[in-house]
Structure 1
Amino acid sequence: MDRWFWCDSSLSPGEAVAASAKSIRLYDGDKRTGYEDGHLTLTNHRLLWRHESQSSSLGLPLGLVVLTEEEAGGFTSSPKLVLHLASPPPGHPAGPVATSQASYVRLSFKHGGCSAFQQALQTALEARAWENAAPAQLPNSVKPPGSKKIHAGIIGIERAIQAKQQEANKNISHAFEDLKNLMDLAKDMVSLSRSISNKIKETSVSADDTTQFRSYLLSLGIDDPVTREQHGSATQYHHHLAREVAGALEEPVREAGGVMLLSEVYCRINRARGLELLSPEDMVQACNLMRRLDLPLNLHTFESGVQVVQVTGLDQDKVVKATAKALDGHEVDGMSAGDLARECGVPLLLARERLLQAERCAQAVRDESSEGLRFFPNLFSSRS
């Protein structure tokens, strides 16, 4: 809120109204403020917010707006427009608060119209009409009581700093536009690569080349990740998310021996989704639905609480036998979880769970000493 300043609502020369909205609440970052049910006006120079009970308005120069984002509303929340702001330049007029820890503000649209207002705001930001206005002072600012006249030399320095700040804001805006274009281009590249992959299947290409090309496709990620905005309810969102995770990671899980730690699954799927990152809660809920949806992967929880995603129908007896086979030949020195992890190429946590599971199935015995926990083949069961 330190970027807002008190001003009157009259328009300066060259300033024109672009859009307006009613019943708007102001947030200082994620924190609610007492500024609610106000009228929001967008001009080609600034944003104006005023409540009917107030004689003056709160103004926000558009030159401070770096990036805009829209937050969809929920069952009990209104849609919001997030404005990421640059630091206020020296000599910025006084506002409702002196300093703020948040570098962004949120505008809550109680009666809708958030998307249309964002489009109008984006158009005004691209036009940058305020750069042609007189730079002597921000338009129609209300001077705080007791303000004194400032020396012309200091004003000149402040103008130079403000010009540099505006140039930096312009460069940042162009950088975000380039990032958006890069994201659109990445989606086109994924679609093109999949088209080429389908053509490769129809022609005579070696199996090694096909495998290598598929690995390239996997590194490109998911071109159209599932999002909450695409589905009306959280249940439908988690159903589609479960299918996306199973489809994207079935082959990597099989290559890892049929089992993969849930933490690794979370990292891999977020890497594939790019900027559309998942929360841990959404990831767990989606994996919990895999078994019910009869997907090729499902969530399994060991007795210790460690969770993994494994191939559906994985024979646990085979896993225990493979662990017991790895213990053969280690009757004297035994194996630690680290030894099994290096030999089988699995994460350390998963190797420990495999050894504990083999112990529960009487295929291994343990020895716990000052040197740590080591496991040995169960020679007692083999002799019985």
Structure 2
Amino acid sequence: MDKYSQALLNSASRLDATAGACGEITKLATAVVEEKNKVATIALLQKISEMIDGDQKEIKLVAQTVNSTLLQFYGYSTIKDICKPAAEEPEDKRSLQELLEELNALVGLKQVKEKVHDLIVYQQVQKMRREKNLHSAKNTLHLAFTGNPGTGKTTVARIVGRIYKKIGLLSKGHFVEVSRTDLIAGYQGQTALKVKKVIEQAKGGVLFIDEAYSITENENSDSYGRECLTELTKALEDYREDLVVIVAGYTEPMRNFFESNPGLKSRFNTFIEFPDYNADELDQILCSICRKNDYVLESDASAVICEYLKKCVEEKGENFANGRLARNLYDDLVMNQARRVIKITQPTKEDLCTIVKDDFQPENQKVE
């Protein structure tokens, strides 16, 4: 056990004894040290606050010590997590057919799936041609995914990486997701180092850059953005044999991003547009999440939810949440069902599984 964990437990034990808390403080501190339990952390902070605000000077002093050791513990553990090397994803043992079935099982995205299938077939044939010493196109593997959030871009990117590994185009097939803050530093020269580190982590797999246009959209850090793009463009060429870079974001900003960077655009051969989900597809996503978690929508509940989803699609704005709308709706349904079921004396298995019409409370939903 590190010294920060030990200091927190020792001070918590001392506060228990001083305040006569019957081990409650130590119990909370143990949950913090062993699990970084958020509920226990909040409860411990509340106890500390109450004692610091109290009248007994000795208890206040010890409570302040616990507060300091708690802050030191979280500061140390946070820095430790930041510096810890990223754990490699376990190798995916599934066959190519199983991975393709996962892709095909995604709700909607018909044209996206067709384009990905074509891409996979093309790359397989090019690989076979190279093995037979036949001419093969030198197209890069890098991709651009455009569309609104919640349309499955990240999910498809993960599957593409695993499929490319299975057909021998990538050595690892792992997935590294980054955004602007992971690539751009606050000082000249440091950005290139950050990009190189990210590229090193992603080699052999997929580097997924979400909202890629944000790299250059901030005029105040334009020089850092250019530095990032210079290093990134170089990596796209240098590691094209064992790295897939997938850039993603809203359609119009991504179009502007590529138009302003012709050198970058030339490194991408495939552009795939992800459409918004319609109401039926959102309903399928919701039902799929329910099935995976052993919940069933009662017919009356299903009917009103279908109407609600149709309304959401008809009234959608620029920030329409797509699949996230279905996932947020699921979370609310489950919470409302839990509030209802807890009042039932000895609920049956059916009670615990069923979501009824009253569990749907549209006034609490955000239509975006």
TM over 0.5: no
**More helix by proportion, 1 or 2?**
2
More strand by share: 1
Higher relative contact order (CA 8 A, sep 6+): 2
When Rg is computed on C-alpha atoms for both structures, the one with the higher figure is 1
TM-score by length of 2: 0.24
TM-score (norm 1): 0.23
